[in-house]
Structure 1
Amino acid sequence: MNHLLYEYSLCTALALMLFFGFYFILAQTPDKSIFNNYLRSRRTMGAALLVLSANYAVHLFCGIRFTNHNAAILMNLSTYFLCYWLFSSALTSLLDRFYITRRRLIQHITLWCLFTILSGCVLFYLPCGIIQNSALLCMATWLFAYGIRLARRLILAYRHAVRFFDDTHSDDIGAYIRWLSIFTYWAVIFGVGCGLLTFLPDRYIFIWILSSIPFY
């Protein structure tokens, strides 16, 4: 692996994530109730970016990928599990303002805690080799299935919104829906694909990092 390219890639992605993460959370919006749902969605996405930036910071400053490859993968999977929920909630709540509820929040946070605890058990209690690698593959499969489930919910919400706005005959809304269509499907493909890209060989890992930059 080209360590210099790897570190520059991490620095670039980390700087962008920190900027947009804090911007989404702290930037002001008009003080009107109509913007409440948008503000909640934006702050949720900002929180997701800060979670990802914490992950990238550990990679950059601790070099965990060079000391324990499986630990790096499991840390990524655990981070993505939480970020899948945050990103999907941010996008889905724009289409369905009743999507985020206390019950749903507790349910998904509990699932993330369980996933993280099991990841720790895989890392610290299973012997290295075939057994640990098989368990790691199971965790990745769980993450992939979870991402597909959230993506399905987002796409269904998007299609419902399209049907709702079909009769408005508004060019502005039509342009917004077309933009949301492209962004939604691209975000779903990239987000779910991150769980697979984390298994790239070390010499190609910078491709995974750089591929995330256009998303920000």
Structure 2
Amino acid sequence: MTHPIYSYSLCIALPLMLFLGFYFLFASTPEKAIFVNYLRSRRIMGGALLLLAANYAVHFFFEIRFRDVHAAILMNLSTYFLCYWLFSSALTTLLDRFYITRRRFRVHVCQWLLFTALSGVVLLALPEGRVQKVGLLLMGVWLVAYGFVLARRLILAYRRAVRLFDDTHSDDIGAYIRWLSVFTYWAVIFGVGCGLLTFLPDEYIYLWILSSVPFYIYLYYSYMNYLLFYEQVEQAFEQEMPSEEETPEAIVEGGVELPACYAGIEGKLSVWIKEGGYLTPGLTLKELSDLLKTNRTYLSTYIKTTYRVSFREWIAGLRMEYAKRMLIQHPELTVAGIAEKSGFQSASHFIRLFKEREDCSPARWRKKHL
């Protein structure tokens, strides 16, 4: 029994998987200590890709799908379960360098061995019929649930990182890791799809193979592109706000009890805003707290409480109002020039934010108001 389109799809996917796996394992990175975690993540991902490539190779060279369908399904289920863990570990460690521990490693390896053993019992020991189908259904549910748990953990880590960046940096550092969120949701769809396609009739399996090509090309592109921004993101992580447990002395202002650390912040911020301090490119909460000679944890809390936005959104709002004034008062300046003077990361970032807030481009807004 042969299916040419199935074999052709494997011919397309297998070389791609081998290339990506070996590249992720052995390609060099900048010789800086800060890239150690990135290299660890990429090597874990490379191992996962080579594991999938080995799965593809067994299907292609030994045609196990047509010789023993139960053995093929067992191999697929076991491979997917282990790859779910490797994929999630590779991505999560980019957001949390201490994520991979010996205990966590042992727990997931034991879960994989148990899942593989039970799948083997269901597929190879139980007689074909209703009992085996129920067993397969349970193993499929276990696999999907496991994937969702890992994906949820990664998404939560991503959201924590974005909140951290928004609370401590004026630049949109979270934009550099957005691909992690996009890839995770795509991986959930792809992973669940692969699990379902494993049980489909043989003539539809090529869909599973071909769908992996754009998926892994996007992964490769994302990792390579992230290399350009990784140092900046990792430095932002290293500047994470410390957790401070001390309780400040309280003072009373206007009959309301406030922490003593809030005393004078409003006045200092007013002076700082009038002087245009928010126009400094790459401004961080730590830099502002040092300038105002106050605690950055309390400064962050004050900004959130008073303005109901994160530090990044607050600075972006100040810069946006300044940019609007510049658009009207200096028609001779270009939009790119105004974006630079206003402290934005780039002209494209400024234009995107402007469109989100005003529903039109800066040039069109200027034309209306002039």
Change (3 A) 1:181 1:120: closer
2:171 corresponds to: 170
1:111 corresponds to: 111
Runs of 4 or more off by more than 6 Å in structure 1? none
Structure 1 contact 2–203 (Cα < 8 Å) conserved? no
Matched residue type, 1:169: S
Matched residue type, 1:203: E
Q: Secondary structure at the match of 2:100?
A: coil
How much does 1:2 deviate?
6.7
1:7 corresponds to: 7
How much does 1:98 deviate?
1.0
How much does 1:60 deviate?
0.7
Matched residue type, 1:58: V
Structure 1 contact 74–136 (Cα < 8 Å) conserved? no
Matched residue type, 2:211: S
1:125 corresponds to: 125
- Give the whole-Å Cα distance in 1 for the aligned partners of 2:69 and 2:206: 15
Q: Residues 1-216 of structure 1: matches in 2 within 5 Å?
A: 3-167=3-167, 168-171=169-172, 173-216=173-216
Matched residue type, 2:50: L
How much does 1:74 deviate?
1.9
How much does 1:31 deviate?
2.2
Matched residue type, 2:148: I
TM-score (norm 1): 0.93
RMSD after superposition: 1.6
How much does 1:174 deviate?
4.2
Matched residue type, 2:73: I
- Give the whole-Å Cα distance in 2 for the aligned partners of 1:147 and 1:164: 26
Deviates more, 1:197-206 or 1:88-97: 197-206
Matched residue type, 1:95: L
1:171-203 C-alpha deviation (Å, 9 max, x unpaired): 5x2431333332232123222332222222222
- Give the whole-Å Cα distance in 2 for the aligned partners of 1:66 and 1:116: 21
2:286 corresponds to: none
How much does 1:124 deviate?
2.5
Deviates more, 1:136-145 or 1:84-93: 136-145
2:229 corresponds to: none
Query: Which structure has the larger Rg over C-alpha atoms?
Result: 2
- Give the whole-Å Cα distance in 1 for the aligned partners of 2:134 and 2:66: 21
Structure 2 contact 70–124 (Cα < 8 Å) conserved? no
5+ residue gaps, structure 1: none
- Give the whole-Å Cα distance in 1 for the aligned partners of 2:141 and 2:81: 12
5+ residue gaps, structure 2: 217-370
| Number of aligned residue pairs | 215
Q: Percent identity?
A: 73
Q: Which structure has the highest helix share of the two?
A: 1
Q: Secondary structure at the match of 2:4?
A: helix
How much does 1:213 deviate?
0.5
Deviates more, 1:49-58 or 1:162-171: 162-171
Matched residue type, 1:43: R
